[in-house]
Structure formats: structure tokens, C-alpha cells
Amino acid sequence: QVQLVESGGGLVQAGGSLRLSCEASGRTFSRYVIGWFRQAPGKEREWISSISYSGTYAEYADSVKSRFTASTDNAKNTVYLQMNSLKPEDTAVYYCARYIGPRGWSKSPDEYDVWGQGTQVTVSS
């Protein structure tokens, strides 16, 4: 049984950076795509990135493109999300999840089955 555990969240000032980690345990998922989502209070869960576990390709939402970068470390069974130039509107709980849909990736949370517990990111102005 695969489990995902996020870490790396915290409080940062606008313009700062954080790196989130998503570590898999139980089984490796080298054939899977991993998605990053976030959810702010009172809002729906928002897709922000998907990356193949090999790191061969990655997709980003327009709201984070050029500021966030996803990467993988297969030896550590970990996926990362480097977040730069953070803005107050980036404040949310961030989740990683395993994609199980038929296409290369998806923005729909319904096509992801295993989710981490989330890590809080707060950006102060």
C-alpha cells in the first residue's frame, strides 16, 4: 500500500521561497505521475502541477508557471515542488497525489487516488 507524506510547508514572506517534499512509502511508483494540488479556505482544490516520476515531463498551472518547479529523486522516492517568488495568494494547504487516469496527466482531483495529508503554506504580505 502506497502512502504519501508531504513536508516543507511553513510561513514565509512574500517574495520568499519554500520547497515541498512528497515522500512515498510502501511501494515505489516509478511508473506513475504525481500531481500537486492546493486548497485555500473556502475554495475548491486546485491543481497546480503534475510530473512524471521519471521527471521526464511536467505541467504547470498558469498561476504558478515560471515560479514553481517540480522535480523527482527516485533514489529517495521523493517528489519536490520548489516554490519561488511566493505571493499571499499562494497561501493554502498543499497536497501531492498519485495519478491513475488514462492520459498522461489531469487537472481533476478525481483521477488521483492516493493523497498525502497536506502541508500548510502561509505567505505573509
Helix, coil or strand: residue 38: strand
pLDDT for residue 92: 98
Task: Report the pLDDT value the prediction gives residue 29, as an integer from 0 to 100.
Answer: 63
Of 105 and 96, the one with more pLDDT: 96
Mean pLDDT value across residues 47-68: 94
Of the two residues 10 and 32, the one the predictor is more confident about is 10
pLDDT at residue 94 is higher than 70: yes
Contact between 2 and 14 (Cβ < 8 Å): no
**pLDDT 10s digits, 57-66:** 999 999 999 9
